[in-house]
Amino acid sequence: MTQAEIGDFFLTDALAPAHSAPPRASTRVRRRPRWGRGAILLIVALYFIVPIYAALDFSLQNIQGQFSFSPLTQITAQPGFASAVGLSFRLSIVTLVIEMLLMVPTVIYVHLRLPRFRRVMEVITILPIVIPPIVLILGVLQAARPYQWISSSPYLLAAVYVVLAMPFVYRSLDSGLGALDLKILVEASRSLGAGWIATMWRVLIPNLRSALLSASVLTLALVFGEFTMAQLDLWTTVPVWIYNSSSTNPHVVTAVAMMFLIAMWLVLTIIVSLDRTHRRAKG
Amino acid sequence: MTTDDLLATPGDTATRTPVQLGAPLSLEGLSRTYGATRALDHFSLNVQPGEFVALLGPSGCGKTTALRMVAGFDRPDTGQILVDGVDVSRIPAQKRDMGMVFQSYSLFPNMSARDNVAFGLRLRRQKGASRRQRANDLLELVGLAEHTTKYPHQLSGGQQQRVALARALAIEPRVLLLDEPLSALDAKVRAELRDQIRALQQRLTITTLFVTHDQEEALSMADRVCVMDRGRVEQIATPAELYAHPASAFVAEFVGVSSRVPVDRRGSAIILFDRSVAIRGSAPAQEVIALDALLRPEDIVVHPDTMGAGVVQHRNFLGATTRLEVGFADVVIKTDVRSSESDRFEVGTRVTLELAAHDVLVTPRRVPAPAPAQD
């Protein structure tokens, strides 16, 4: 029996009087017009698709405005591109590692031992969104100035990105932990002889898999897309490179932006597929 | 005794000398206060090796607090927890070798039934093949040999609790702790699992501490029952002793069913149903004249009598027996009759009651709460 048949059966059963017309006729009568929903979906789809299509179209044109793949083939030859990608990649990895090392134990501890502190945590983790990035980076640069070893390092940006990504990571982990009977799992693990590290590694982290994956994707997207702080800290990450190159070779720059958009979408799709496959394997 | 021994055929086990798996457990003067609430108040209990002791009491009496202290999830403010004569009250939970089954389902969702059972063995660095074999054997022991590769969400509540039991037993714990493991299950599964836990415990002779608020569970499973109230021990006794000779009014009313009947004292006896009846146990001080007798339904025989002073007010069918509530001028008394004879006791039937006991438990008379003021 298909889902539609199940739906039809219940709908008919609930509405039709005994010995009435066949179920499908009854269902048709009850069906509400869908054009309103369709129109809304179309408007929303256009809102997202038109700019992407425009960018894609622009990225597949040569300097004369004719259709061409040359912007794509020229990407890797662009000066500074490889180092910008490398820097963004290194920053994203460092950010991700620091973020997880800081946030996973913290959120677990708050859930387990300080549940009343969750409200405060929610407020704290909103601050990076509320505070304008320019204020944040100027404050960080000022504070780091006396310490040459960090103020001259690009990884100062990673420290700032950890703060910026915190709201997304916290919410992702918070909802993941909310779905677990955390206290019981921890106590069961400890009663069987597991210390905190074994409990985290073997019990909690595997059960937070989806939450950790979504937190990771959000962090990667944030690091690869952040412009203001990298620009003010004078490091050429991918967004800064795109900005700097946009006046000299706009078609190639747009092609790069499209490439990253597609790459991020692919990563997201792969992660979601892997997660689904894992869940299906467990039944 | 190892799991291999447990799983040996009856012929094998008959030739072996039984070895006790459990250790003696002694709780000495445990106290614990949460804010203004005293959860445990100088609580003491000795559990012999291989003994099954139930902590029974109403919600908030401190039974779970005591169990959690033994497990290592909470620390006493004062007192000691001795396992095999060694104070473990400051040892972390993961180093105590206590197997625990929780009230809510506690299986690790990311692991199959077998991996759940093998978890503790893995932490003890047992080799892969023997670990898996042992987990399989334990699952077979609890009747789940067909479900070793299933994940928790594919198992019923009863099956999950049996896996949790196998998991707790896998580490060969010195003490098995059961925190209301049956309370989330339906009645039929609960009864089955109750029998299975008891049979396993007797077979393994493992020292077991079992927390429950269900008197039927406590009485049917435990070697001894510790009744608790407000963080204190009210009575520790065998189920039969507890039921027949409750040490206090609280125990009498909490364990089994009792009717309170106001009586007058005559020296060391009371006058009940125009009969002089001895006071059971230690009597309240002589100056206490106003007493309540606590009567069990089975201590009373009921007879239809058109001239009787009692009237059947309510009937409650319980299966083999039917409980009658017989109303008098100022008291209602509960008594049981066989259901096959209950037709003689329709609501409104006049009856007389006969006391079948030689002595009864008495307690100082309870002053009725004042009626709420009406506008």
Residues ≥6 apart with Cβ < 8 Å to A177: A107, A108, A111, A208, A211
Closest chain A residue by Cα to residue B110 = A207
Q: What is the distance between the alpha carbons of residues A282 and B17, in angstroms, rounded to a whole number?
A: 43
pLDDT for B354: 87
Report pLDDT for B369.
Answer: 55
% pLDDT > 70, chain B: 89
CB pairs under 8 A between A and B: 76
Three-class SS of residue A150? helix
**In A, which residues are within 8 Å of B164 by CB distance?**
188
CA distance B209 to chain A (A): 15
Taking residue A184's Cβ as centre, other Cβ atoms within 10 Å add up to 16
Q: Give the model confidence (pLDDT) of B44-77 as tens digits.
A: 999 999 999 999 999 989 999 999 999 999 999 9
Q: Taking CB atoms and an 8 Å cutoff, what residues of chain A touch B138?
A: none
Mutate one of B88, B95, B100, B108 to test the A interface: name it (highest A CB count within 10 A).
Answer: B108
User: Using the beta-carbon criterion (under 8 Å), do B120 and A188 form an inter-chain contact?
Assistant: no
Q: Which of B107, B123, B151 lies at the smallest CB-CB distance from A282?
A: B151
Task: Tokens 């007798």: give the residue.
Answer: B293
Per-residue pLDDT tens digits for B248-294: 888 888 888 888 888 888 877 888 877 788 887 766 666 667 788 88
* pLDDT tens, N- to C-terminus, chain B (375 residues): 444 444 443 334 333 344 456 789 999 999 999 988 899 999 999 999 999 999 999 998 999 999 999 999 999 999 999 999 999 999 999 999 999 999 988 999 999 999 999 999 999 988 888 999 999 999 998 989 999 999 999 999 999 999 999 999 999 999 999 999 998 888 888 888 899 899 989 888 899 999 999 988 999 999 999 999 999 999 999 999 888 888 888 888 888 888 888 888 887 788 887 778 888 776 666 666 778 888 888 888 999 999 888 999 999 998 899 999 999 888 899 999 999 988 899 999 999 998 887 778 888 776 665 555 544
Closest residue in A to B113 (Cα–Cα): A282
Cα A215 from Cα A107, distance rounded (Å): 13
Mutation for testing the B interface, residue in A192, A196, A275 having most B CBs under 10 Å: A192
- Confidence (pTM): 0.78
For residue A189, which residues of chain B lie inside 8 Å, CB to CB?
108, 119
Q: What is the pLDDT along chain A (283 residues), one digit of tens a residue?
A: 333 333 333 333 333 344 444 444 444 556 666 788 889 999 999 999 999 999 999 988 887 888 888 888 888 888 888 999 999 999 999 999 999 999 999 999 999 999 999 999 989 988 988 888 888 888 888 888 888 888 888 999 999 999 999 999 999 999 999 989 999 999 999 999 999 999 999 999 999 988 998 899 889 889 988 998 898 888 899 999 989 888 888 888 898 888 888 888 888 888 778 777 766 665 5
Distances in whole angstroms, Cα of residue B366 to Cα of each of B58, B106, B250, B294: 20, 43, 12, 11
Burial of B311 (C-beta count, 10 Å sphere; 0-12/13-18/19+):
middle
Tell me the chain A residues in contact with residue B118 when contact means C-beta distances shorter than 8 Å.
Answer: none
| AA identity, residue A216 | S
Strand partners, B46: B26
Rounded to a whole number of angstroms, the distance from the CA of B100 to the nearest CA of chain A is: 7
* Rounded distance between C-alpha atoms, residue B276 and residue B270, angstroms: 6
Contact check, Cβ <8 Å, A283/B72: no
| Interface with A, mutate which of B64, B101, B106, B183 (most A CBs under 10 A) | B106
Question: pLDDT by residue (tens digit) across A111-133?
Answer: 999 999 999 998 998 898 888 88
Contacts of B151 in chain A (CB under 8 A): 282-283
CA A197 to chain centre: 27
| Nearest to B45, CA basis, from B190, B225, B206, B238 | B225
Report CB contact under 8 Å: A207, B171: no
Whether residue B310 contacts residue B351, with contact meaning beta carbons closer than 8 Å, is answered with: yes
- Quick one: DSSP state of residue A220? H
Q: Which residues contact A91 (CB under 8 A, 6 or more apart)?
A: A154, A155, A157, A158, A161, A223, A237
The angle subtended at Cα A59 by Cα A53 and Cα A60, nearest 5°, is 95
Which domains are seen in chain A, by residue range?
42-60+67-76+246-283 (no CATH), 78-238 (1.10.3720.10)
pLDDT in tens, B199-209: 989 888 899 99
CB < 8 Å to B97, chain A:
193
Q: A187 and chain B: CB distance < 8 Å anywhere? A: yes
